[in-house]
């Protein structure tokens, strides 16, 4: 693939939605004309801004403020992809909690990223699949997009990274390890060795920064990848194996607990039969 492919999925007076895919081993300068919300759903990328580097993956939303210059690199060999939303400025200021935004115009976020919950991950997948497959009309797609934005930045459903900068950098290194091989059944000692700290320190740091244990974060990444891949697998047992789950039943139970429906039910509701693998 070329270095970066931007595919327009929706453009209305209120919201624009794009699918952004980047090749692995690339790096580009970024300066958004309008404030963007980016939802990674495949792989991970690194954002370099103000002398810091942060990891973006499927458990968070990234904010690219209008006029803000930085760089994004794509270390994963298979590249990465994100769903990109821009929202009408007046509407975005109406939706966003005031504490999240700088004063003045255009709307610009104080945080570079926020953690999102499983429901937001489902909305990313539903919006992307329905627009790709042409099953959502503009009104439905706009409603899905704005619901996603509200949930991603809502005070009860979003999570800002906490802890010291050194602990955040450590946790970001651990995330890169996990995303680099989602199918591997890592042990805590192995991840700790990869990032060069003790298992106890890694456990404490991850929970402090992300608010969840490392194993649960890994589960969320695997399930988000499943949302992306469901249309490519006819055999869900094979999908569960490829994502490192111990069994098909374990995968199904975890998916249902996180998203409120089984993988089969999600695929039936989100993907037309003619576009599923094996159909």
Of 18-27, 46-55, 172-181, 182-191, least confident by mean pLDDT is: 46-55
Same domain, 87 and 215: no
Q: Is position 269 within any domain? A: yes
Alpha helices, H only, 16-98: 89-95
Q: In the listed set 88, 123, 153, which residue is the last one of a domain according to the structure?
A: 153
pLDDT of residue 2: 59
Instruction: Give residue 279's pLDDT band: very low, low, confident or very high (50, 70, 90).
Output: very low
Q: Is position 160 within any domain? A: no
CATH no. for residue 219? 1.10.10.60
User: Which residues constitute the domain of residue 83?
Assistant: 4-153
pLDDT of residue 29: 94
For range 7-32, the mean pLDDT: 96
Same domain, 134 and 243: no
Same domain, 176 and 144: no
Same domain, 200 and 237: yes
Nearest to 27 by CA among 73, 94, 78: 73
Same domain, 247 and 118: no
| Share of residues in the chain with pLDDT > 70 (%) | 96
Q: How many CB atoms lie within 10 A of CB 106?
A: 15
Spatial distance between the Cα atoms of 7 and 21, rounded to a whole number of angstroms: 8
Q: What pTM was computed for the model?
A: 0.91
Q: Which two tokens stand for residue 101?
A: 């935004």
Same domain, 126 and 29: yes
Same domain, 19 and 127: yes
**Cβ atoms 37, 75 nearer than 8 A:** no
Instruction: Give residue 158's pLDDT band: very low, low, confident or very high (50, 70, 90).
Output: confident
Instruction: Give residue 273's pLDDT band: very low, low, confident or very high (50, 70, 90).
Output: low
Q: Is position 114 within any domain? A: yes
Same domain, 117 and 44: yes
Q: Is position 238 within any domain? A: yes
Nearest to 37 by CA among 162, 172, 131, 148: 148
| Number of domain units in the chain | 2
Q: Is residue 275 classed as helix, strand or coil in its secondary structure?
A: helix
Same domain, 97 and 145: yes
Same domain, 78 and 100: yes
- For residue 271, pLDDT over 80 is answered with no
Instruction: Give residue 76's pLDDT band: very low, low, confident or very high (50, 70, 90).
Output: confident
Q: In the listed set 153, 181, 207, which residue is the last one of a domain according to the structure?
A: 153
Same domain, 195 and 233: yes
Q: Which residues contact 80 (CB under 8 A, 6 or more apart)?
A: 21, 22, 24, 40, 42, 43, 44, 45, 74
pLDDT in tens, 223-235: 999 999 998 998 9
pLDDT of residue 130: 93
Q: Is position 159 within any domain? A: no
Q: In the listed set 125, 153, 181, which residue is the last one of a domain according to the structure?
A: 153
Residue 29 has phi, psi (to 5 degrees) of -80, 145
- For residue 278, pLDDT over 80 is answered with no
- For residue 1, pLDDT over 80 is answered with no
For range 135-148, the mean pLDDT: 95
Q: Is position 140 within any domain? A: yes
Same domain, 138 and 97: yes
């Amino acid at each position: 693939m070329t270095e970066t492919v931007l595919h327009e999925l929706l453009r209305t007076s209120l919201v624009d939605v794009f699918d952004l895919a980047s090749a692995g081993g690339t790096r580009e300068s970024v300066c958004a004309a309008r404030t963007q919300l980016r939802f990674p759903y495949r792989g991970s990328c690194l954002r370099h801004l103000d002398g810091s580097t942060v990891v973006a993956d499927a458990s968070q939303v990234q904010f690219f403020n209008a006029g803000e210059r930085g760089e994004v690199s794509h270390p994963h060999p298979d590249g990465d992809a994100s769903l990109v939303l821009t929202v009408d400025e007046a509407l975005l200021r109406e939706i966003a909690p005031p504490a999240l935004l700088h004063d003045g115009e255009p709307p610009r976020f104080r945080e570079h990223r926020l953690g999102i919950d499983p429901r937001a991950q489902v909305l990313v997948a539903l919006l992307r699949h329905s627009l790709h497959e042409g099953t959502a009309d503009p009104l439905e797609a706009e409603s899905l997009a704005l619901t996603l934005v509200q949930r991603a930045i809502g005070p009860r459903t979003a999570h800002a990274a906490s802890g010291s900068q050194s602990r955040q950098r450590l946790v970001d290194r651990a995330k890169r390890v996990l995303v680099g091989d989602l199918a591997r059944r890592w042990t805590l000692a192995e991840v700790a060795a990869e990032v060069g700290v003790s298992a106890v320190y890694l456990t404490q740091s991850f929970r402090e920064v992300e608010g969840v244990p490392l194993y649960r974060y890994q589960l969320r990444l695997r399930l988000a990848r499943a949302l992306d891949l469901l249309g490519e697998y006819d055999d869900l047992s094979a999908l569960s194996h490829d994502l490192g789950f111990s069994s098909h039943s374990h995968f199904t139970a975890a998916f249902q607990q996180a998203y409120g429906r089984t993988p089969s039910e999600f695929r039936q509701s989100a993907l037309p039969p003619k576009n599923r693998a094996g159909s």
